[in-house]
Structure 1
Amino acid sequence: MIKKFVSSLMLFSAVAAGGSGMSFADDGWDKTFEKSDRVNVRKVEFSNRYGIVLTGDLYIPKDASGKLPAIAVSGPFGAVKEQSSGLYAQTLAERGFVTLAFDPSFTGESKGTPRNVASPDINTEDFSAAVDYLSNSEYVNPEAVGILGICGFGGFAINAAAMDTRIKATVASTMYDMTRVSARGYNDSVDENARYEMKKNLNNQRTEDFRNGSYKPGVGLPEKLTGDEPQFVKDYWDYYKTKRGFHERSINSNGHWNMTSSLSFINMPILQYSDEIRSPVLVIHGEKAHSRYFGEDAFRKLKGNNKELLIIKGANHVDLYDNPDKIPFDGIAEFYKKNLK
């Protein structure tokens, strides 16, 4: 039973300037968290280097004056900006930052076809595109821009920091390395022969997809639980499939990743140059998270005395999506205040 759910989650169930005149979205609140009365939020669009138009929510403190430090936020993998990333963005905006929670390429309100596909390269680029936008915003000090990735986008955030020297500080919260789990399975349990069979099946699916003119979805979270699922599947379900975190545009809530997305993740590992990151990095993980080893291994590869690992006592993977008693928002804000100047 566990092997079944592990293999399923390996298939991924697991252009305007800042002052462009867009009106603030004060009604029609569509987030999974309560709206703050201390922050203004507006919908924005910007393009990445591949010409894909990304959509984000820009959060600005109501008492803002001058050019502020800024943070681009995305994740978890399969989520949208109205869920966890928006909560992080709004909460950090309450603490004095301009923040941008955005939908990655091919998902949510962002453009790109086919839909519900992911890429280690393009999703890393999405963070740099958000830095492009923030660096040109009238509200932002371009020398004080950081990023924050949650779950799979924690891995992409560290990957982006290894490439983009404009990123002055990075937080990876409850991170996954999606390329590692796709190629090797949980706890590196998939060997070369199993990986080869997986690639054969996925490439056969490519042929069928071309023949059919459509892309077959992978296996996502079940619509109902039987009670026999591993605890981490129950934790995901409790967030994405209930009132707590459900959103109709979220792949993990209401859809499935494109099955053949995993081919590029199997073949192109991220974090290859993360040991060359010179800017500060904070890795946060739950003590009881099934994914904890991703964060600890990523942290071990980082070099320098400006890297931090924070393990949250008693927290599981999903607690760091939205649990205010577990997410160390004050500590995250202090990290950015120290390093975004």
Structure 2
Amino acid sequence: MKKRIKKYLLTAMFISASIVALAQTKPANPFGLVYEGAITENVKGKVNIHPVSYILNGIDISANVYTPANYDPTKKYPAVVVAHPNGGVKEQVAGLYAQKLAESGYITIAADASYQGASGGEPRNVDKPANRIEDIRGMADFITQYKGVNVNQVGLLGVCGGGGYSLKAAQTDKRFKAVATLSMFNSGEVRRNGFMDSGLSNIQERIKEATEARAIEAAGGEVRYASDTETTDEMADKMPFDLYREGHYYYHRTHAHPNSTFRYTMSSLLDLMEFDAATNMDLINQPLLMMAGSKADTYYMTDRAFKLATGTNEKELFLIPGATHIQTYYVPEYVNQAMNKLNEFFGKYL
């Protein structure tokens, strides 16, 4: 049994990838949104969604802007940038929280990361931390130019991997006046050490594999991918971690989107493995809110980063009772608790 568990510990970060073909059906929602209660049409006087695109470092970025009810471009509103999870797209959990924040009176933006989702960039599914951080700054560039946005009232919310990248962005980008994370995932720590340090024994082996992939790309050869294996329900049910097991059902079944995939270029590991979202946390001097489910197996990442955030006196760790990592993405009870805290936090500091 111990041997079998160890096997899953070492391979969990590479299991789960492309959306199962049966789940790759076009979302029925006209905006491609797959979360419960999503906008289906823009109605005057209510929250509206505005698909937009812009250029960031030569790449076309696909984003959705949500405006609050009775939005008047001649008035000024606080705004929130929302960063999506690893493998996720703007139409999933990032869109859900962007819409709910708009219902609370904020102008919000959720964009697909460069090289991912409906955004441009080749090869597909490059997943480098520097890109993800720049994507967050790019959303700030765009939304601060949007009619009605008060540039002195811009907040940041990052979910899962987007939470880790949001922490890094906020360390130096002070346009963000308040920073929040939900179920923060430290991508570099996990890609390097494995989830819950399950991959410590084969770090050098994985670095070698990533190095070889980079060399092949440089020579004009094939692009190699990690996490490019199809996962069945039976495989997921045997996974020892809630994160991966529940993540399979969220991303591949209940909230599947054709642009969402967990695969990423193997060469990206060269950048991911040297990254750590929790370094330089003392540079965050803005108010900070970090939220996580009390039963989340990813909580150790939030806990570590929060303790290192010594540069701000206005910080709060909020645990959502009974929630796992993935459940904070969609379970109404837990989403409502997170939103109540976000409204309190952004309401105070924006």
Taking structure 2 as the reference length, the TM-score comes to 0.86
**Alignment partner, residue 18 of structure 1:** none
Aligned counterpart in structure 2 of residue 338 of structure 1, from 318, 326, 348: 348
**Alignment partner, residue 329 of structure 2:** 321
1:143-180 per-position Cα deviation (integer Å, ceiling 9, x unaligned): 11111110011000011110101110111100111011
Aligned pairs (5 A) from 1:81-96: 81-96=90-105
1:236-255 per-position Cα deviation (integer Å, ceiling 9, x unaligned): 1110111x210010013xxx
CA contact (8 A) 2:282 2:308 kept: yes
Aligned amino acid, residue 284 of structure 2? I
Indicate whether 1:44 and 2:55 are aligned: no
Aligned counterpart in structure 1 of residue 285 of structure 2, from 278, 288, 293: 278
Indicate whether 1:219 and 2:215 are aligned: no
Whole-Å separation in 2 of the counterparts to 1:108 and 1:172:
21
Aligned counterpart in structure 1 of residue 210 of structure 2, from 196, 199, 202: 202
Equivalent residue of 1:114, what SS? Answer: coil
CA contact (8 A) 2:53 2:61 kept: yes
Provide the aligned C-alpha RMSD in A.
2.0
> Which consecutive residues of structure 2, in runs of 5 or more, have no partner in the other structure?
18-28
TM-fit CA distance, 1:40: 0.7
Indicate whether 1:10 and 2:17 are aligned: no
Whole-Å separation in 2 of the counterparts to 1:106 and 1:194:
28
TM-fit CA distance, 1:30: 1.3
CA contact (8 A) 2:241 2:297 kept: no
Whole-Å separation in 2 of the counterparts to 1:58 and 1:42:
5
Distance 1:12 1:112, change over 3 A: farther
**Alignment partner, residue 71 of structure 1:** 80
**Alignment partner, residue 24 of structure 2:** none
Whole-Å separation in 2 of the counterparts to 1:276 and 1:12:
35
1:175-234 per-position Cα deviation (integer Å, ceiling 9, x unaligned): 11101111122223444x632222112212333445573212212564312232224222
Equivalent residue of 1:132, what SS? Answer: helix
Worse-superposed segment, 211-220 or 131-140: 211-220
TM-fit CA distance, 1:2: 3.8
Aligned counterpart in structure 2 of residue 57 of structure 1, from 48, 57, 64: 64
> Which consecutive residues of structure 1, in runs of 5 or more, have no partner in the other structure?
15-26
TM-fit CA distance, 1:62: 2.6
Aligned counterpart in structure 1 of residue 309 of structure 2, from 282, 302, 305: 302
Q: How many residues align?
A: 322
**Alignment partner, residue 158 of structure 1:** 167
Whole-Å separation in 2 of the counterparts to 1:4 and 1:69:
48
TM-fit CA distance, 1:53: 2.5
Aligned amino acid, residue 29 of structure 1? F
Equivalent residue of 1:112, what SS? Answer: coil
Whole-Å separation in 2 of the counterparts to 1:185 and 1:211:
29
Whole-Å separation in 1 of the counterparts to 2:290 and 2:141:
24
Aligned amino acid, residue 10 of structure 1? M
Distance 1:238 1:190, change over 3 A: closer
CA contact (8 A) 1:180 1:266 kept: yes
**Alignment partner, residue 269 of structure 1:** 276
Whole-Å separation in 2 of the counterparts to 1:39 and 1:94:
6
CA contact (8 A) 1:8 1:220 kept: no
Whole-Å separation in 1 of the counterparts to 2:341 and 2:229:
32
Whole-Å separation in 1 of the counterparts to 2:166 and 2:285:
14
Whole-Å separation in 1 of the counterparts to 2:121 and 2:137:
17
Whole-Å separation in 1 of the counterparts to 2:245 and 2:95:
23
**Alignment partner, residue 20 of structure 2:** none
Aligned pairs (5 A) from 1:137-156: 137-156=146-165
**Alignment partner, residue 260 of structure 2:** 250
TM-fit CA distance, 1:272: 2.2
Equivalent residue of 1:241, what SS? Answer: helix
**Alignment partner, residue 236 of structure 1:** 247
Distance 1:74 1:167, change over 3 A: same
Aligned counterpart in structure 2 of residue 35 of structure 1, from 34, 38, 50: 38
Whole-Å separation in 1 of the counterparts to 2:15 and 2:166:
18
Aligned amino acid, residue 38 of structure 2? K
Aligned amino acid, residue 148 of structure 2? Y
